[in-house]
Structure 1
């Protein structure tokens, strides 16, 4: 998952300039209908999926419990992440996933394509099982 422009700049300033980066109090997972780029564009809209909302990676627990301890510049989700059923008028095709530091608004952190697009039909749910969402820092 490439880091967003926001996160890349924050990490470079933190490590190379001593400008403190404050870790988020929560990390939220988003679904996207096209490439979010480095800014979080193309997030699923509540116009097409009224019940859609970003899901908290920690699922109500501590942020430290949201993802496995990093190793070899990689981590994965430590909790199942489940979205409410699509209650819209039609299917939504999800192609990408993202991470944010807020439930709405906030700063986009990472984004990546799914292994394959997922069509979420009306009444369908989408979820990531534990360990299914892999986050790697690019070399």
Structure 2
């Protein structure tokens, strides 16, 4: 999966130009009804799911506890993430995820398709079990 434009530019500037990249104090996982692309588009909205909010994958603990150590340019979530019950007026189809540097607004860092896309009916909960959110870095051709 490609890094967002924001993260790609930050990494290039950090590694090739010596411009410091401030590591986020926390990261947050968002759910999307379409491909977030390079900017975090298609995030679930308050109209479709009023109780929706991004989730801290570390669940308030040290940021490093949210994902396993990277190996072969890939990591996975180390904790289960459970969103509040979907309380919108109609079903929504959640197909993608993204990681942000803020719980609201902020910069999209990276995103991709869910292993198990799901249509959420009103009152359904959305859960990403341990190891189900794979985050990797694409090789450049």
Count, aligned residues: 139
State how far apart, in whole Å, the 1-side matches of 2:110 and 2:81 are: 16
What are structure 2's unaligned runs of at least 5 residues? none
Structure 1: tracts of 5 or more residues without a match: none
Tell me, yes or no, if structure 1 residue 61 matches structure 2 residue 61. yes
Aligned to 2:112: 112
TM-score using structure 1 length: 0.97
- Identify if the C-alpha distance between structure 1 residues 76 and 116 changes in structure 2 by more than 3 Å, giving closer, same or farther: closer
SS in 2 for 1:24: coil
- Tell me how far 1:34 sits from its aligned partner: 0.9
In 2, distance between residues paired with 1:22 and 1:10?
Answer: 9
Which residue is 1:128 aligned to?
128
Deviation at residue 47 of structure 1 after TM alignment: 0.6
CA-to-aligned-CA distance 1:92-118 (integer Å, 9 cap, x gap)? 111111100000000000111123531
Q: How many Å separate the matches in 2 of 1:88 and 1:116?
A: 21
